[in-house]
């Protein structure tokens, strides 16, 4: 008796081919943990290896709330485990200064990289070393890396081998000013005032801050935040000139989320509603929503959305923008998954809605 599998076998083979073998190095931080949570739900992800130096040997399901979705035998492995060479794609969720020492050995094996650290976000070597206080060990990759900002570099991401996911502050900042930068109106200056939940400082720092920030609110890195040159880099790329930018960061006594207020001063008279420019610019965007009223931070919690509102300022020739994102999703792991989807020609919202 002959069994003809027909289209059923073909469909099964195609389904298996659509699964990408993925590794995550540095999964015990907030962004790494969120990334694991997103990828175990992703229909095109085969999570092959997850690493953490501190948690090596422990079960991944013990860290992730959706433990029912995780195979019983998935354990954290050391970051130097050979299983990572069996991956097609590796996400690096390591501290700054670590991924630059890892990428070449994987790129040499034709393994693609999506890096959530800051190691490859800046194109200028001196600028990176000045702001991060380290000597870069892989400067040749600074020019080859693609900035993982889908709203601007979608086509470049699709062909990339090394993707540098933007920081949380640059993500919401650039989304908030991008339509103005792309408009025909010349910009004189910008003020960006951004407030973040404590997870933006990382797991270790967040634990130390939890008591200090109870019923509290404060500015930090007032002399200069590391995300400043990252924001300026893209602003200069789009405007072809350096625009005066004042960037201030503050800590909110909440776990997650970033709320931003931006003020954009133009060189010419603005006597019309700039909100229509924003609505038109983002009309086909999957995750960017333009509101008539100022957004609520709770509305973006645990989502990949960015909510933006645009208003006329009381100051002549100036507009005021309010926006918010979840710093761990749109500001980190969710944007990384967007890049993954673009890289492998999946729908951009796969695993994110």
How confident is the model over 73-126, as pLDDT tens digits? 788 999 999 999 999 999 999 999 999 999 999 999 999 999 999 999 999 999
Token duo for residue 254: 């909440």
Position with higher pLDDT, 7 vs 201: 201
How confident is the model over 214-237, as pLDDT tens digits? 778 889 998 899 999 999 999 999
Q: Would you call 247 helix, strand, or coil by DSSP?
A: strand
Q: Would you call 284 helix, strand, or coil by DSSP?
A: coil
pLDDT at position 204: 54
* 16: pLDDT strictly greater than 50: no
pLDDT at position 284: 92
Residue with tokens 């100022």: 294
Stretch among 18-27, 77-86, 198-207, 314-323 having the lowest mean pLDDT: 198-207
How confident is the model over 292-308, as pLDDT tens digits? 999 999 999 999 999 99
Q: Which domains does the chain have, with CATH numbers?
A: 6-166+332-343 (3.40.50.720), 169-327 (3.30.360.10)
pLDDT at position 167: 97
CB 26 within 8 A of CB 94: yes
Distance from first CA to last CA of the chain, Å, rounded? Answer: 46
Say how far apart CA 178 and CA 73 lie, in whole Å: 45
Say how far apart CA 78 and CA 101 lie, in whole Å: 15
Position with higher pLDDT, 66 vs 123: 123
- Could you tell me the strand order of the sheet in which 76-77 lies? 76-77, 45-51, 20-25, 89-92, 112-115, 162-164, 146-147
Q: Would you call 251 helix, strand, or coil by DSSP?
A: strand
As a whole-number percent, the residues of the chain with pLDDT over 90 amount to 75
Contacts with 309 (C-beta within 8 Å, 6 or more apart), sequence order: 275, 290, 291, 292, 293, 294, 295, 321, 322, 323
Say how far apart CA 42 and CA 353 lie, in whole Å: 10
Q: Is 168 a catalytic residue?
A: yes
Say how far apart CA 217 and CA 251 lie, in whole Å: 6
How would residue 6 be classed by pLDDT, with cut points 50, 70 and 90?
A: very low
* 69: pLDDT strictly greater than 60: no
Q: What is the DSSP string of 301-313?
A: TTSS-EEEEEEE-
How would residue 15 be classed by pLDDT, with cut points 50, 70 and 90?
A: very low
Could you say which of 168, 306, 324, 339 is catalytic?
Answer: 168
- Helix (H) or strand (E) run with residue 246 in it: strand 244-251
Residues paired with residue 288 on neighbouring β-strands, in sequence order? 306
- Helix (H) or strand (E) run with residue 219 in it: strand 218-220
Cut 0.95: pTM above it: no
């Amino acid at each position: 008796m002959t069994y003809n599998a027909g289209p059923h076998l073909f469909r099964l083979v195609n389904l298996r081919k659509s699964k990408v073998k993925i590794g995550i190095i540095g999964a015990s931080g907030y962004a790494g943990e969120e990334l694991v949570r997103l990828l175990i739900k992703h229909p095109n992800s085969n999570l092959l290896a997850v690493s953490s130096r501190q948690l090596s040997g422990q079960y991944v399901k013990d860290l992730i709330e959706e433990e029912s979705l995780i195979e019983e035998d998935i354990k954290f492995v050391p970051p130097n485990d050979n299983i990572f060479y069996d991956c097609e794609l590796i996400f690096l969720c390591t501290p700054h200064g670590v991924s630059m020492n890892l990428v070449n050995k994987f790129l040499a094996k034709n393994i693609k990289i999506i890096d959530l650290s800051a190691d490859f976000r800046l194109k200028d070597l001196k600028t990176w070393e000045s702001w991060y206080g380290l000597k870069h060990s892989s400067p040749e990759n600074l020019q080859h890396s693609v900035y993982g900002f889908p709203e601007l570099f979608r086509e470049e991401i699709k062909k990339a081998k090394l993707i540098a996911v933007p920081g949380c502050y640059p993500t919401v900042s650039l989304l908030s000013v991008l339509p103005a930068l792309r408009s025909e109106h010349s910009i004189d200056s910008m003020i960006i005032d951004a407030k973040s939940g404590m997870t933006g400082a990382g797991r270790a720092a967040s634990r130390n801050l939890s008591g200090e920030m109870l019923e509290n609110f404060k500015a930090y890195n007032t002399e200069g935040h590391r995300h400043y040159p990252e924001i300026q880099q893209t602003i200069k790329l789009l405007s072809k000139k350096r625009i005066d930018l004042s960037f201030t960061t503050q800590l909110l006594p909440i776990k997650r989320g970033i709320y931003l207020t931006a003020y954009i001063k133009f060189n010419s008279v603005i006597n019309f509603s700039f909100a229509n420019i924003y609505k038109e610019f983002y009309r086909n965007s999957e995750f960017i929503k333009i509101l008539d009223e100022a957004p609520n931070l709770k509305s973006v919690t645990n989502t990949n959305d960015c909510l933006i509102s645009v208003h006329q300022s009381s100051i002549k020739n100036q507009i005021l923008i309010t926006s918010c994102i979840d710093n761990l999703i749109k500001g980190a792991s969710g944007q990384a998954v967007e890049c993954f989807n673009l890289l492998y020609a999946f729908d951009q919202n796969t695993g994110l809605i």
